[in-house]
Structure 1
Amino acid sequence: MIAMQYNFVLPTDYNMDIVRQRIASKGHMLDNFPGLVFKAYLHASKHGVSTPSMHNVYAPFYLWDGSEGMNNFLCGDGFAAVSQAFGWPAVKHWAVWHSHVDDKVRSARFATRQVIPVAPYSALGTLREVEIAIVKTTSQQDGALAVLVAFDPSEWTLVRFTLWSDTSAALAVGLPADVQCYDVGHVSAPGR
């Protein structure tokens, strides 16, 4: 499995309703995209109530069952259209160590993402075991609808990502200061 995200930082005075309307009108188009486990249409606003952010951002997050679906998307019309609308993004991707996706993932309304540096010479096998245990524990929390941890050995980072039923479910577990929070406009997931 592969986790993938790109991030569009938008101007401070950007009308975020444009992003929300785009999600509402186009989000369903990937609902049954081959190879896609889920796509979470994420956004956060500098002046947001539920997800105050350092910047206005549109930052879709994907979980792919393999590289073929990811490549088909990136080489297709959907990615071309979003690039034309918002610019040419750097596309980050991570090899998934462990994931859990609930059947109710489409009802997610809030997301958290934490990017963690991996220290040089870390015992990667031990780190992986610890992170998998964290995913399993988090997936048992009320309101956790998708949880994953993934690894990028080119930049030596981990990403912890969770889709939540709502803001209160995420806040109930306590969030570290370095977590990026997002509102979820739509979740595409095949056959769910």
Structure 2
Amino acid sequence: MITMQYRIVLPADYDMAIIRKRIAERGHLTDDFPRLAFKAYLYADRTAAYAKDRENLYAPFYLWRDTEGMNAFLGGAGFAGVIDSFGRPVVNTWSVWHAQVATDLSIATYATREIAPIAHHIALGELRDTEHARVQEDVERGALAAVTAFDPTHWTLLRFRLWRNVVEVADKNIDVYQVGHISQPSAKHDS
């Protein structure tokens, strides 16, 4: 599995209703996308209490079953639409260590994302085991999806969670997003 996210920073006075409308009109287009585990259409509105005057963002997050699905999306019409609207964003990817995903993510309303540097002295195997335990803890705390992954190019760790309700985060390095739509092909086909 592989994760992918691009974050489009929008002006401070940007009308975020435009992003919510975009998600409402286009979110369903990835509901049946092959090899997609889920796509969370995420945004942050700097005026909302959870955002604490941070940036306005449009920041979809993807969990792919393999790189074939990711490549098909990046080379297809959906991503071409992103480029047409916002220019070509930097697409970050991480190799998945652990992913626990509820059968139906449609009740997710918020997401958290943390990127942390991996210290040089930490053994990756030990870190992977520690992160597995953290995934379990967050699922027990109510996370509907908990994904931990790493980027060996920049030696960073990703912790991504989907939540039913907003969660309090004290760490300014943890981004909080609202969920506009979830595409989860397996949930649609399992019901």
Paired position in structure 2 for 1:59: 59
Paired position in structure 1 for 2:121: 121
Paired position in structure 2 for 1:179: 174
Displacement of 1:72: 0.2
**What's the CA shift string for 1:144-184, capped at 9, x where partnerless?**
110010000000000000000111xx23xx55332100000
Paired position in structure 1 for 2:101: 101
Secondary structure of the corresponding residue to residue 133 of structure 1: helix
Displacement of 1:104: 2.4
> How far apart, CA to CA, are the structure 2 residues paired with 1:190 and 1:84?
25
Paired position in structure 2 for 1:85: 85
> How far apart, CA to CA, are the structure 1 residues paired with 2:68 and 2:2?
10
> How far apart, CA to CA, are the structure 2 residues paired with 1:60 and 1:31?
14
**Structure 2 residue ranges without an equivalent (≥5):** none
Paired position in structure 1 for 2:147: 148
> How far apart, CA to CA, are the structure 2 residues paired with 1:123 and 1:101?
26
**What's the CA shift string for 1:85-139, capped at 9, x where partnerless?**
1121000000000010001212210000000000113211111110111011111
> How far apart, CA to CA, are the structure 2 residues paired with 1:101 and 1:150?
14
> How far apart, CA to CA, are the structure 2 residues paired with 1:39 and 1:52?
25
Please say if residues 114 and 161 of structure 1, whose CA atoms lie closer than 8 Å, have aligned partners that are also in contact: yes
Please say if residues 42 and 183 of structure 1, whose CA atoms lie closer than 8 Å, have aligned partners that are also in contact: yes
> How far apart, CA to CA, are the structure 2 residues paired with 1:13 and 1:149?
33
Instruction: Give aligned-pair identity as a percent.
Output: 48
Please say if residues 45 and 52 of structure 1, whose CA atoms lie closer than 8 Å, have aligned partners that are also in contact: no
Secondary structure of the corresponding residue to residue 26 of structure 1: helix
Please say if residues 40 and 181 of structure 2, whose CA atoms lie closer than 8 Å, have aligned partners that are also in contact: yes
Q: What TM-score comes out, normalization by structure 2 length?
A: 0.94
Paired position in structure 1 for 2:163: 164
Q: How many residues align?
A: 187
Q: What TM-score comes out, normalization by structure 1 length?
A: 0.94
Q: Which amino acid aligns with 2:186?
A: G
Paired position in structure 1 for 2:27: 27
**Structure 1 residue ranges without an equivalent (≥5):** none
